[in-house]
Chain A
């Protein structure tokens, strides 16, 4: 019997508290190094036992077990083993997340967000969630769903990761559901960057679906004002400019502030850029006076990465359709391979 196997024996709910705490300390220490994680994951039952310990009546034990799982799941090399070896880690974490009385719902969300970073992990997670995805979205949208103070912000990251799967995108973009309508309202959620960023990641991914641009921009979702509002500042416009703006952006007061986080500003602009892939999207953006918001942002913006994306977007918005000449830039424009390579080489700079 290896040392790790021996250790894993003590990682059960029934073990005496002092022994269990000690074994857990050891395990947690091991999750700090790549070798340690490899050893743990190769020992059957370790992950399974850790999952169970999240329900331990002793809070410190449950907390340590959750930290160990976060560390393990953060290692993308281990994801395939974690999600396929019958560890039931996904099921366990989902159960904890949906339990309004569980104190470790937030760490459970973090584990899920870690696991879903890889394509395989997100696919396994979506398989497990299945048609119930809407239920998780519902839980996420309910402020104070968790009675023990967990905020479930990391579910936003989970949804963002899940949206790399085409099936998830078409699930969320189904107009007969109100998933998207409810999620977009978190784009300007003040209390958590994780929540804002996660939801924006999901929305950005959805914006790649050019066939759904009309739905995204329709009254039902009303995405444009949601994306523009965090980019708008306290600048005053005259009545003519105000009236052309989406109603949410009209007559903003002098206390209006812009999104603080440059990464999120960049994502907002990237999502808008994706909407410009179709003629419909471009014309809609122009008709809603998007330009004046971008113009004022440009005067204010200091971050070079954001500025690069912003200038690219403005270049599309201020051009005439006959200068562009394509209805759908994604489907109609063929990019020669050598240029693609050049772009890829430039990408890290952005």
Chain B
């Protein structure tokens, strides 16, 4: 592998950020000019949304269950086991639901987009599309961004629900917490900023997943090896960005709405 000077490396990184920004901006601007690809958007929503449903349900359920198990011992020590519903509910809705769903969707969809678009690049299908008078940004990128943002929002709600349900089942069967009490405390603890924070995150995460996946896909070079590299980079970068953005959005919301 060729060694780059620090200046060249820095230039390359700046150029990558610039190229990504252009892809992200064009994915949004394409929404405001025809043609619009409703069919492609629906198809992507089906692939991304319904395709991700099983993993989101399973990871949400077991994350809620694990959260309940870990919290139960500590709460018992203080005689506050009845608060377990609140803890699981807050943890899932504010933090774990969006992040786990985002990471699962990144693993499944960002890598999928990068490999699909990357394969199209190396087999000249993207060039063919341009040559046939179709803008790949409008036909391929925008439908993926719109459908990922839209579906991740609902997937997160489903994940939250199954997470709280998982926590409820663990609490009721392993720790003897009353099922109705669990659900009423889990529901009552939630206030506007919790729900706002929990539903704002998937919108941002969905945008990150789709734009990063598409960016690495259409930037793929170097045949099948390049496609493989793009797939890995898309998954790693989108996962890191999800965790980073999660931190900053949480901090921002806390500053705006208080603790």
Please indicate whether A and B come from the same complex rather than being unrelated chains: no
B residues bordering A, Cβ < 8 Å? none
